[in-house]
Amino acid sequence: MKTSVNERMVVGISGATGVAYGIRLLEALRELGIESHLVVSKAAQMTLALESTISLKDVLARADYHYSPENIGATIASGSFPVLGMVVAPCSIRSMSEIATGVTTTLLTRAADVTLKERRKLVLAVRETPLHLGHLRTMTALTEMGAIIMPPVPAFYAAPNSLEDLVDHFVGRILDCFGYNWDKAKRWDGPSKRNEEP
């Protein structure tokens, strides 16, 4: 597979609920021919066992490269390793907070910190509700640093028929941030004729 900066992306899956987003993103990247570099946090491995019938081994197999969250010497921990950017989906509040402070304890948060310092695109699918003022201020700080805070909000206007449709739509919106058009995501094309006035 080609390895130019425009065809390589880091994916982090943290311990928040919603591992389906990260898994589907890996599948979409493969369909688009984008090389994926994956790190799954220890907490995410626990969440995976609760939320999915897919094994960790099968999740890792969906990535071109995968790393232990404790491997701080991995290529994605260095700014000299060129990538298009990074997505953390889902992103826990703890991971978000570590990234915001720059005091990182895992490869996932270190890779995100590197993404920011190299002025690359970082998308954080923060999955938490409700949010207190500290969370909101942390999101503001990250936005000021250049990150994109992108909570996985369901798009009911797309008339989804399943949870998979909702996941696909959100993954498509993530890919939009990087300039990729993924045809599995249904887009808004105006109101249907049945809703128009005569």
**Is 80 annotated among the ligand-binding residues?**
no
**Is 8 annotated among the ligand-binding residues?**
no
- How far is the C-alpha of 162 from the C-alpha of 32, rounded, in Å? 23
**Is 173 annotated among the ligand-binding residues?**
yes
**Is 93 annotated among the ligand-binding residues?**
yes
User: Token digits for 10?
Assistant: 């880091």
**Is 78 annotated among the ligand-binding residues?**
no
**Is 21 annotated among the ligand-binding residues?**
no
| DSSP per-residue codes, 53-120 | SS-HHHHHHTSSEEE-TT-TTSGGGSTTS--SEEEEEEE-HHHHHHHHHT---SHHHHHHHHHHHTT-
- How far is the C-alpha of 85 from the C-alpha of 91, rounded, in Å? 15
User: Token digits for 133?
Assistant: 């003022």
User: Token digits for 83?
Assistant: 């990538």
**Is 14 annotated among the ligand-binding residues?**
no
* SS3 category, 1: coil
**Is 120 annotated among the ligand-binding residues?**
no
**Is 30 annotated among the ligand-binding residues?**
no
- 14 contacts: CB under 8 Å, gap ≥ 6: 41, 43, 44, 88, 90, 91, 92, 94, 95, 108
Show binding-site residues for dimethylallyl phosphate: 157, 173
Show binding-site residues: 15-17, 41, 92-95, 127, 157, 173
Show binding-site residues for FMN: 15-17, 41, 92-95, 127
